[in-house]
Structure 1
Amino acid sequence: MEQQRQKKPVRRVVIAGGGTAGWMVAAGLSKSLGKLLDIKLIESEEIGTVGVGEATIPTLLNFHHLMEINEQEFMAETMATFKLGISFENWRNVNEDYIHSFGTTGTDHWTAGFQHFWHKGRERGIAGDYGDYCLELKAGLKNRFAHLPNNGMNYAYHMDAGRYAKFLRRFSERYGVQRVEGKIVEVRKNLLSGDITALRLDSGAELEGDLFIDCTGFRGLLIGQTMGVEYEDWSHWLFNDSAVALQTKSVRDAVPYTRSIARDAGWQWQIPLQHRVGNGLVYSTRYTDDETALRTLQAAVDGEPLMTPRVIRFTPGQRKQTWKGNCIAIGLASGFLEPIESTSIHLIQRGIIRLMQMFPQDGISQADIDEFNQQADYEIQHIRDFIILHYNVTNRRDTPYWRDAATMKLPPSLQHRIDLFRDTGRVFRVPNELFAENSWIQVMLGQGILPASHHQTADLMGDEELARFLGNISGTIDRTVAQLPSHQKYVEQYCSGTGW
């Protein structure tokens, strides 16, 4: 039985595992607290990383800003391109597509969101598609991009995850992080407190620490196998448990969006980088097999393969505790949600920022542990609901996979959101939630939910006023998009260091 630990200052931090998660943690800790800490990262060249988290969301720009990372240098090093959103193809139904873009759509009124005015305009026959009023969506469709004044274009990146880890390694080592090569063969614990005291490597070396960060991926070597934290399985909501990944040579200009193409028992991703394309198929082995999944992917990709396809197994869900004792899990060790909305790196980033805000320099506090775990749980559950939405709200009934997804029993929190929007057109963002109102609206409209009513404020506009209001928004967007350069040319010049 664990006894109450004695609080002691945290000066030695040991990060178990490299990859994107490990080196993001190392970068965050060393940049902010490197002068106060001894930070070591254990990594083995023999242990591969998942390395398919290559599509991001705009929050990564915030992390890079905090780290003072030069964007052009980062993009050149990671062969990155810009991303304005995700194209969801065959999700609402076969041959019916929509885009979940970054940024905002239209202009809200303080009493009601833009969707109510758009809905009224559709009733009167004077409104275009909802996406006509979003700059990022229209720019994506036209394959155009540029940085605009006052951060006028919301964007993220497609990047090479392996190169990103190496980029962050160099960054972290400049701030004093020590990389230790080796495999962890034993985790030593204090039998009284239950805390981890040291990690023994295959070389015989032992690394002692005050705080241990588990970035060992799905294995959860520290948080799961050593600290005994159970895993909460969400596969009754999220059926997919496997992915097959394949990189191919680029055969056309890179588009500024991720493609997510729904298949019979899962979905295919396509992520365009400067030098290649990342491809993969996420699927459920309850509804198909590895061989069929591989054939489906190979039949759908263009370009020469650059690697042997590899299958990745996973269980959607989360650890019941992200922080236990003196061990904190970040990245895949803490939980996994499939990359349909590119949230994996965001969750790593949020774990790092949460750690910075609650860093136990004077000793580990149970109150901090409880708050950390509560925030992590709250955050991933809202993302989980958003991902489930894509599967459940669909008109597809053509395969057992889609029929079962459409008829599953939903988490009450998600069912309420769907009912509220379907009945009233209203969406309310939960405090500190990742996805804002416009994301929920784009996906719910894209998946086929048209609200039964709209806010009465929209009724106060006459046809002429409403048409002018909507026309001004779409007209401004069209004029802006027409002046943007092609995404491909912009990336080539921007990453060459010559600017634009």
Structure 2
Amino acid sequence: MSGAPRHILIAGGGVAGWLIALASARALLPLGTQISVTHDGADESLGSHTLALSTLPGIQDHHHALGIDDIAALRAARGSFKLGESYTGWTTGGTAILPYGDTGADVGPVRFHQQLMRLGTRVRDMDLAAFSLAGSAARLGRFAPPSPDPASILSTLDFGLHLESGGYARHLRDAALKAGATAVEGCVVSAERGADGRLTAAVLDDGRKISADLFIDATGERAALISGVLGVAWESWAVPGLDQIASALADDSASPSPLTRNEAIGAGWQRSMPLYKATASQIIFSSGEMDDDAAVKRLGGNANISAFNPGRRGTPWSANCLAIGAAACIPDPLASAEHHLAASAALRFLKLVPHEGGGVVEAREYCRVFAAETSSARDFTALFYTAQTREETPWKAARTLEPSAELTRHRALFDARGRIPRSEDGLYNEAMWAAAFIAARVEPRDHDPLANGLNEAALKQRCEQVRQLVANTAQRLPAHGDMLAQLHGSRP
């Protein structure tokens, strides 16, 4: 019986390439598999616009599975902590915060937001952050790690990370090389194919050819192998009215907030990701309403600009080539999913490593899970575009974005009684979906009738106790900036 592939070639380093190199080296080198990574120093593996990462809370689990220390990664990547996201200007009702971790407490099957609706609170007036330790701490610029004690309110915290992509990629590279992966200087531009259509050798820009059994395409939007050689089509999730993205990374001495900020403006929206002594920013905008010079000026005078075309490959694992990162999917920045999708892909690959010369069954299962995860990221962002209420031309166009059947189902359930279907994609749990609908100011027609079984006076007292406990605890937490200064020391 044939075993694991003898040689896996990863085309392109960067965050995505070194993630899968690290995962593969740790698991497959003991089986005799050679792991090679071609790289030319550039990192566009997650897209040329991804100068920094704003991650989901699942990054801790991914790091643990890969043997990465969260704090070491944070130090290497000018990192900061992230307790949630804020949305300003998307709808009426002021700034909304989508907090990570627990919000309030469910009563049996009655979700916390249903309890607030039972008390007469409209979604447009709902402030989930006031009942969430993560949300209240984020608002005050404070942070503490979660407690392992379930009796402590600190156990309700959860967090993601803000990471500068270049520093994070170098950290992953060092870890992958230490685990036994091999670095090959050079840029993959094409590949040779056999009579059966499978790739046989990658072709580098200097004419060298490298043979392998399995090829990983981490070349970013260029998709040199999955698109350039195999011709796998791109499914566009383009947002009507928003066709450009500008990205910048600038030094910033201000104390960083543990919050990613998403501010809607007339020509589009701006995203700010605070790092340690730096800020990464993006503007997704309409070229008809804002020219490139204006976008660059808004970001401080120095920015990368490219077309904005989020989407995915229909079959990211085709023949003996697996695409990862932007070669496989470019999620909208609102999804905060770039890291999750790349890390999830790397770890899922290990569960489906094909035997030498095989892979048809494994590729089919891989693509099935990929479709579920990426569809969730697509729908999460489409919710905000279709629910916003701005009247500028780009925003009116954005509201014409056609929601998927799955998002339509989600929206119908929430519109009726504020219900959220069970989510099994791994990106967003039910609490995050509920918080997203509330942040988008989607107003249900009524609440869950089960909430009527709760005593109104007791419920009101209970919610006020939660609010006070959260507020008092948040005030006592350390300042986020002070904690980062201790973790980073004198290094930026």
Q: TM-score under structure 1 normalisation?
A: 0.90
Of residues 67-76 and 344-353 in structure 1, the stretch that sits farther from structure 2 once superposed is 67-76
Q: Which residue of 2 aligns with 1:233?
A: 236
Runs of 5+ consecutive residues of structure 2 not aligned to the other structure: 149-154
2:349 alignment partner, one of 355, 374, 380: 355
Compute the displacement of 1:238 (Å): 5.7
Compute the displacement of 1:342 (Å): 1.3
The answer on 1:447 being equivalent to 2:430 is no
Compute the displacement of 1:96 (Å): 2.5
Equivalent pairs, count: 478
Q: Which residue of 2 aligns with 1:188?
A: 192
Q: Which residue of 1 aligns with 2:64?
A: 65
Compute the displacement of 1:22 (Å): 0.6
User: Are residues 116 and 179 of structure 1, via their aligned partners in 2, closer, same or farther at CA, if it must alter by over 3 Å?
Assistant: same
Take 1:46 and 1:383, find their aligned partners in 2: how far apart are those partners? Answer: 26
Compute the displacement of 1:215 (Å): 0.3
Q: TM-score under structure 2 normalisation?
A: 0.91
Take 1:444 and 1:473, find their aligned partners in 2: how far apart are those partners? Answer: 22
Q: Which amino acid aligns with 1:110?
A: G
Q: Which residue of 1 aligns with 2:39?
A: 43
Take 1:287 and 1:364, find their aligned partners in 2: how far apart are those partners? Answer: 51
CA contact (8 A) 2:385 2:401 kept: no
Identical-pair percentage:
27
Q: Which amino acid aligns with 2:141?
A: N
Give the CA RMSD over aligned residues: 2.2
The answer on 1:97 being equivalent to 2:95 is yes
Q: How does 1:132-281 map to 2 (within 5 A)?
A: 132-150=130-148, 151-190=155-194, 192-235=195-238, 237=239, 239-281=241-283
User: Are residues 449 and 184 of structure 1, via their aligned partners in 2, closer, same or farther at CA, if it must alter by over 3 Å?
Assistant: closer
User: Are residues 123 and 44 of structure 1, via their aligned partners in 2, closer, same or farther at CA, if it must alter by over 3 Å?
Assistant: closer
2:327 alignment partner, one of 316, 333, 356: 333
CA contact (8 A) 1:145 1:487 kept: yes
The answer on 1:25 being equivalent to 2:14 is no
Take 1:310 and 1:427, find their aligned partners in 2: how far apart are those partners? Answer: 38
1:54 match: secondary structure: strand
Take 2:241 and 2:9, find their aligned partners in 1: how far apart are those partners? Answer: 35
Q: Which amino acid aligns with 1:64?
A: H
User: Are residues 312 and 35 of structure 1, via their aligned partners in 2, closer, same or farther at CA, if it must alter by over 3 Å?
Assistant: farther
CA contact (8 A) 1:8 1:363 kept: no
CA contact (8 A) 1:92 1:446 kept: no
User: Are residues 123 and 482 of structure 1, via their aligned partners in 2, closer, same or farther at CA, if it must alter by over 3 Å?
Assistant: closer
1:122 match: secondary structure: coil
Q: Which amino acid aligns with 1:118?
A: L
User: Are residues 160 and 415 of structure 1, via their aligned partners in 2, closer, same or farther at CA, if it must alter by over 3 Å?
Assistant: same
CA contact (8 A) 1:218 1:314 kept: no
2:5 match: secondary structure: coil
CA contact (8 A) 1:7 1:365 kept: no
Q: Which residue of 2 aligns with 1:74?
A: 73
Compute the displacement of 1:207 (Å): 1.3
User: Are residues 31 and 222 of structure 1, via their aligned partners in 2, closer, same or farther at CA, if it must alter by over 3 Å?
Assistant: same
Q: Which amino acid aligns with 2:198?
A: D
Q: Which residue of 1 aligns with 2:152?
A: none
Compute the displacement of 1:363 (Å): 4.3
Q: What is the CA deviation profile of residues 254-306 of structure 1, one whole-angstrom value per residue up to 9, with x for unaligned ones?
A: 110111111223211111111211122122335543233334444xxxxxx6x
User: Are residues 375 and 71 of structure 1, via their aligned partners in 2, closer, same or farther at CA, if it must alter by over 3 Å?
Assistant: closer
Take 1:459 and 1:97, find their aligned partners in 2: how far apart are those partners? Answer: 30
Compute the displacement of 1:440 (Å): 1.9
2:10 alignment partner, one of 8, 15, 25: 15
Q: Which amino acid aligns with 2:410?
A: R
CA contact (8 A) 1:53 1:342 kept: no
Take 2:427 and 2:70, find their aligned partners in 1: how far apart are those partners? Answer: 23
The answer on 1:438 being equivalent to 2:431 is yes
Q: Which amino acid aligns with 1:323?
A: W
1:226 match: secondary structure: coil
2:256 match: secondary structure: coil
User: Are residues 184 and 111 of structure 1, via their aligned partners in 2, closer, same or farther at CA, if it must alter by over 3 Å?
Assistant: closer
Runs of 5+ consecutive residues of structure 1 not aligned to the other structure: 1-5, 299-304
